Structures are given as C-alpha cells and as structure tokens.
Amino acid sequence: MSPKSISKEDVEELMKIKRKGEKELEEFFQSMIDEKRNNLGNDLISILIRAEEEGVKISEDELVPFCNLLLVAGNETTTNLISNAVFSIIENHGVYEEVRKNPSLIPQMVEEVLRYRSPAQVLRRIVTKETEIGGQRLQKGEVVLPWLGSANRDEKKFENASHFNIHRSPNHHIAFGHGIHFCLGAPLARLEANIAMTELIKRYSSITLPQGFTVDPIEDSAVYGLRSFPVIVRG
C-alpha cells in the first residue's frame, strides 16, 4: 500500500487490529502469570512474581506491561541484529573470511553492526520543560524523535561513518540508547549475537548472497532489518 492510498478508515482499521492484538497478548501474559503463581520456577516470569511478592519495585499492574516490554524490546531487536550482522559481513568483501580466520574479532564486528545497521533506529521523547538543544528551541509538550541511526553515522563522531569497518576503535555508538533508559538487555543482546555469529561462522565455510539478491527491508521507520534474507551456505 503506498502512503498516498492510506485513508482515515485504513488507519482506524489498523488501530482496531493493533488493539485486538495487544489485548490478546495481555491475556496471554496474564494467564501465564496466573499459572506461574501456583507453580513458581526459575524462569524470568517467576522471578518477577517473586520480586513482586517480596515487595520489590514491580507491582501486579506492572507485571503484564513488563512482560510485554521484554518480549517486544528483546525479541525483534536481537533477531535483526543477527541478520544485519550476517548481511554486513557478507556484503563487505573479505570480512566473512577475516572473522572466520580470527573469531576473536566477532565482538567488535557485532559492535560495528550495532552502529552501522542499528536495529532500533529512533526513540521518542516529550519535552518536559522549555529548553534548547543544538540551537533549536524546544517547548514543553513537544515531541522529539532522536534518530539513533543518524547519530551512529555522524561524521563529526565517526570517521568514514558510512563505511562498515570492524576495526573501528573507539566505537562509541548509541544503538542501545543513553542515560537512565539505557537498554536493560544490552549484555544479553550482545551475548546472543556473539554466540549466534560464532556458531554460524564455525559451521559454514562461506555464506553468500544469491544471484539477483535485492534488499527486502522491514517497512518500519523505527526498525532496521530485513523482512526476508535468502543466503547460500557451504558447509
């Protein structure tokens, strides 16, 4: 659907589907929480329930939204990080072979993917008091969209910012945000990506793009990733 053809009715219909999905997900988590309450284990939801029962920070009202947040914040982002990593190292000639020869480069390669193809592209903030940033006056109540993907390719901060370079050092990207809301799952995301990339690279002597490959991006301005990604692997 091209942007021009989206009508008010389309948006309303989309919002209806979105609310229905959210409600179903809420019910799913609520039933899982109820079930766990009677049978606490060592899983994450049981740990959150225990914390609630011990009066630590998280309350009943917060449990479902927190499970939601963990699912959304922790799932698509990491999935995209892994496929963006595969894409970046096969798209850039010689990098796959280089990391295969020297797997100790994998963590710094993952950092460069986080910078170069940041899975979360944009945040949203509401101005709480009048202020000025970069010569721009901001009024209370205004919405600000800080583009992480743009900051991570800022030429003032990164030399040859549009070049994928796994040897970039330092590499102070902000793919996990900054400040008090810095990503809670950053160590887990890094661990998952490092493990996945290590296993893939160990297993396949080469991964290449099929002939006629065209990029099939996820159509969402906030998320950077591929909707589908066919590759050719050799054992």
Q: Which CB sits closer to ligand HEM, 186 or 233?
A: 186
Q: Which spans of this chain sit near ligand HEM (rule: CB under 6 A)?
A: 69-70, 73-74, 77-78, 81, 119-120, 123, 148, 175-177, 181, 183-185, 188-189
Q: Which CB sits closer to ligand HEM, 67 or 201?
A: 67
Contact 78, 184 (CB under 8 A): no
CB of 178 to ligand HEM, least distance (A): 7
Q: Which CB sits closer to ligand HEM, 184 or 209?
A: 184
Q: Which CB sits closer to ligand HEM, 58 or 161?
A: 58
Which is nearest to 209 in space by CA: 175, 190, 233? 233
Using the structure block, give the residue that is written with the tokens 């939801």.
Answer: 45
Contact 186, 176 (CB under 8 A): yes
CB of 61 to ligand HEM, least distance (A): 17
CB of 102 to ligand HEM, least distance (A): 23
Q: Which CB sits closer to ligand HEM, 100 or 115?
A: 115
CB of 120 to ligand HEM, least distance (A): 4
Cβ atoms within 10 Å of 145's Cβ, excluding its own: 11
Please return the burial class of 65, using the count of CB atoms within 10 Å of its CB with bins 0-12, 13-18 and 19+: exposed
Q: Give the N- to C-terminal CA distance of the chain in Å, as an integer.
A: 40
Residue of closest CB approach to ligand HEM: 185
CB of 44 to ligand HEM, least distance (A): 8
The CA distance from 65 to 59, in Å, is 11
